[in-house]
């Protein structure tokens, strides 16, 4: 009951937020752009179908959704001190409040993404029909997973961020994004060139499994494209798991852990914070 109230309230607030609205529009433009790109590049003859659009969309999702989830998550969850004092003095546990608000934020971001995917989907459908639409839905699913993972991380970062400490949480979120997006992959590749091939491939496997952004990218591409367009790291992962099924399972476990563990620690940290 309380959970639902907090979720509904947060959804309402998030949908009114300029940031969510801007995200929805920008995401719709980018997704439609990706969908139209292939069509335009091929001179209007070749048609960018759902399958090819989906593969390109994976990269867009993996780049933008973590950033937006982190930023919007921290901005919304880290309340002004006076507002936090009102909310946390209510007869509702801090974990319930946090979970409710996370669910509301998730719903808002999922709606915004569905809006973008919907527009892009209509565009593709009008050009090339429904073929490969399953892949498109998978990418939307991956986008939801990314939202869940990075909202949980945002919750962890903002668990003790009230008033002035918000800025710090926001900065940490940005750092986390840069690290996940470029730093880990670069570091792993650099390290791999220095190591003997066995150890090198283990490093690459770890980088694409333990880094949620790498795991998302690998997992989504695996489901959408199969193994055709894989890079070194993903191929090493496939060899390690003896095929796509094992790889998918491991990636799913990694992402589930990346959602549940930060969310759990966020609740714990929030319970222990003075407000």
Interacting residues toward other proteins by CB under 8 A: 2, 5, 9, 12-13, 16-17, 80-83, 85-86, 88-93, 96, 272, 274-275
Shortest Å distance, C-beta 172 to other proteins: 21
The smaller minimum CB distance to other proteins, of residues 100 and 219, is found at 100
The smaller minimum CB distance to other proteins, of residues 5 and 25, is found at 5
The single residue listed with the structure tokens 């900065």 is 171
As a dihedral over the C-alpha atoms of residue 178, residue 181, residue 184, residue 189, rounded to 10 degrees, the angle is: -130
The smaller minimum CB distance to other proteins, of residues 20 and 211, is found at 20
Cα 73 from Cα 218, distance rounded (Å): 24
Shortest Å distance, C-beta 71 to other proteins: 17
Shortest Å distance, C-beta 246 to other proteins: 43
Whether residue 2 contacts residue 28, with contact meaning beta carbons closer than 8 Å, is answered with no
The smaller minimum CB distance to other proteins, of residues 20 and 254, is found at 20
Shortest Å distance, C-beta 76 to other proteins: 9
The smaller minimum CB distance to other proteins, of residues 196 and 274, is found at 274
List of residues 6+ apart from 34 with CB closer than 8 A: 53, 56, 57, 60, 120
Going from the C-alpha of 244 to that of each of 207, 219, 255, the distances in angstroms are 17, 9, 16
253-267 residues labelled b (16+ CB within 10 A) or e (exposed):
ebbeebbeebbeebb
């Amino acid at each position: 009951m309380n959970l639902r109230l907090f979720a509904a309230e947060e959804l309402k607030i998030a949908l009114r937020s300029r940031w969510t609205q801007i995200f929805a529009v920008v995401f719709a433009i980018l997704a439609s752009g990706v969908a139209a790109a292939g069509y335009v590049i091929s001179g209007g003859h070749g048609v960018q179908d759902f399958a090819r659009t989906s593969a390109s969309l994976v990269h867009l999702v993996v780049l933008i959704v973590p950033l937006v989830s982190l930023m919007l998550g921290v901005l919304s969850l880290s309340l002004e001190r006076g507002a936090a004092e009102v909310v946390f003095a209510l007869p509702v546990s801090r974990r319930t409040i946090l979970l409710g608000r996370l669910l509301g934020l998730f719903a808002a971001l999922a709606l915004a993404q569905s809006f973008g995917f919907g527009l892009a989907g209509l565009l593709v459908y009008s050009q090339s029909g429904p073929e490969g639409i399953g892949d498109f839905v998978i990418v939307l699913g991956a986008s939801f997973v990314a939202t869940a993972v990075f909202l949980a991380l945002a919750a962890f970062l903002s668990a003790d961020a009230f008033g002035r400490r918000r800025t710090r949480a926001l900065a940490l979120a940005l750092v986390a994004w840069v690290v996940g997006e470029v730093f880990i992959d670069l570091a792993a590749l650099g390290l791999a060139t220095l190591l003997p091939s066995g150890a090198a491939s283990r490093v690459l496997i770890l980088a694409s499994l333990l880094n949620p952004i790498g795991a998302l990218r690998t997992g989504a591409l695996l489901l959408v494209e199969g193994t055709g367009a894989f890079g070194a790291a993903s191929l090493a992962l496939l060899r390690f798991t003896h095929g796509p099924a094992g790889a998918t399972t491991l990636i799913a476990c990694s992402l589930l852990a990346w959602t549940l563990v930060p969310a759990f620690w966020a609740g714990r940290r929030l319970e222990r914070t003075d407000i």
